[in-house]
Amino acid sequence: MIYPAEPFRIKSVETVSMIPRDERLKKMEEAGLNTFLLNSKDVYIDLLTDSGTNAMSDKQWAGMMMGDEAYAGSVNFYHLEATVRELFGFKHIVPTHQGRGAENLLSQLAIKPGQYVAGNMYFTTTRYHQEKNGASFVDIVRDEAHDATLNVPFKGNIDLNKLQKLIDEKGAKNIAYICLAVTVNLAGGQPVSMENMRAVRELTSAHGIKVYYDATRCVENAYYIKEQEKGFENKSIKEIVHEMFSYADGCTMSGKKDCLVNIGGFLCMNDDDLFSQARELVVVYEGMPSYGGLAGRDMEAMAIGLREAMQFEYIEHRIKQVRYLGDKLKAAGVPIVEPVGGHAVFLDARRFCPHLSQEQFPAQSLAASIYVETGVRSMERGIISAGRNKETGEHHKPKLETVRLTIPRRVYTYAHMDVVADGIIQLYKHKEDIRGLRFTYEPKQLRFFTARFEYI
């Protein structure tokens, strides 16, 4: 594997420092063993998320100075609108403060209580909005996505047989829409093939079912199609992205990922009536339809960043920097989700901590241990993130119990990845010391953000 050098020069730096282990242990305990509750100044390398943690380019910063902060009709909105129309191909765009704002709008407008939303694995905030508006989520991702050890391409694909079975059992009119994520975060950042997108579009069209993409990491997905799917090797990332969205009725987008900004998102659709309703509803939750909770300067940076993300040199380095970390860990025998996805390396906490049952929250404890031992902040993606069944109150128990090492875009170097890998490799050598946890405080909604724990 050849790992390309960073396709940028560093012009501005932010100083970070490592606090001593004893102090990190104290900070972790004060945070209730939840990495979300740490103060960022106490973190050496922050791999909590790639959401809004990107480094912006000189052109984006220059664009920030051209922010039109008009309350209505901002020039920057029209630039963003034209950019999204060109690159994604959708007719309408409604800006929101971030991706979950778009999820909120879509869920309220497209779901009738008692309906089903099917998708290629859930995502936390997405499922929350769907369930809050009366839908039941049905996972129709291919079975291979739930097996961390299988190294097969396009593990994010929808299983067409599962989709057909759902249609046969529930009826097409009872399916609000299909939520197709590109890529699939909780499966390890796994991509979806263009062939699968076409097939999903063909099947849903035959039954009059809408398809909305979670487009958060669509550029990363496009890279995998170019790299691994026959017939796309000579197509540009821009061409691939445009074709991907041609098989959808709309999308939700968190601009904090593949738009290379720190805040922002949008909802896209082709349906005129849905757009009219979305314009009315966005005023209630976000702001005017021409700013949607964003400053004009943020919309300008998002429009510029989306074009920069389409550059092959950028996305090749992005994907392969993540692979570099995964390859180092795998070579040392550290169990990870395979293949390595586009935005993060996922540690397989079941195999990392075989001495802990899932009810002892191994991924949550592993994330806390990684911080204490290395100063690196990661996050749990397992039983804590999955939450509880809204009807039975029992824990959802996903097959994947993981810790996500999420790489911000254009922020860290390969040397930082070396530090992360070396620290985790050393921790793996005494993994038996990692202890199980229990709740001391459990929020009712999206508990992984603010829950607190103690050692059993």
Q: Which of 127, 257, 318, 350 is catalytic?
A: 257
Instruction: Clarify whether 448 is annotated catalytic.
Output: yes
Q: Which of 49, 83, 96, 124 is catalytic?
A: 124
Instruction: Clarify whether 46 is annotated catalytic.
Output: no
Q: Which of 142, 217, 381, 431 is catalytic?
A: 381
Q: How many helices (H) and strands (E) does the chain have?
A: 16, 14
Integer-rounded Cα radius of gyration of the chain? 21
Task: Supply φ then ψ for residue 235, to 5 degrees.
Answer: -90, 150
Task: Give dist(CA 292, CA 445) in Å, integer.
Answer: 24
| Residue 111: strand, helix, or coil | coil
Taking the CB of residue 415, how many other CB atoms lie within 10 A of it? 7
HSE of 26, CA atoms in CB hemisphere, 13 A: 6
Q: Which of 212, 245, 448, 453 is catalytic?
A: 448
Instruction: Clarify whether 381 is annotated catalytic.
Output: yes
Q: Which of 88, 123, 224, 245 is catalytic?
A: 123
In sequence order, what are the beta bridge partners of 139? 119
Structure tokens belonging to residue 397: 């128990």
Q: Which of 8, 71, 441, 455 is catalytic?
A: 71
Q: Which of 42, 68, 214, 258 is catalytic?
A: 214
Task: Give dist(CA 318, CA 223) in Å, integer.
Answer: 10
Instruction: Clarify whether 123 is annotated catalytic.
Output: yes
Our CA angle for 446, 450, 451, nearest 5°, is 90
Are 71 and 288 a contacting pair, CB within 8 Å?
yes
Instruction: Clarify whether 71 is annotated catalytic.
Output: yes
Closest-CA residue to 28 (of 442, 434, 319, 445): 434
Task: Give dist(CA 419, CA 410) in Å, integer.
Answer: 17
Query: Sign of dihedral through CA atoms 218, 309, 123, 436?
Result: positive
Residues recognised as catalytic: 71, 123-124, 214, 257, 381, 448
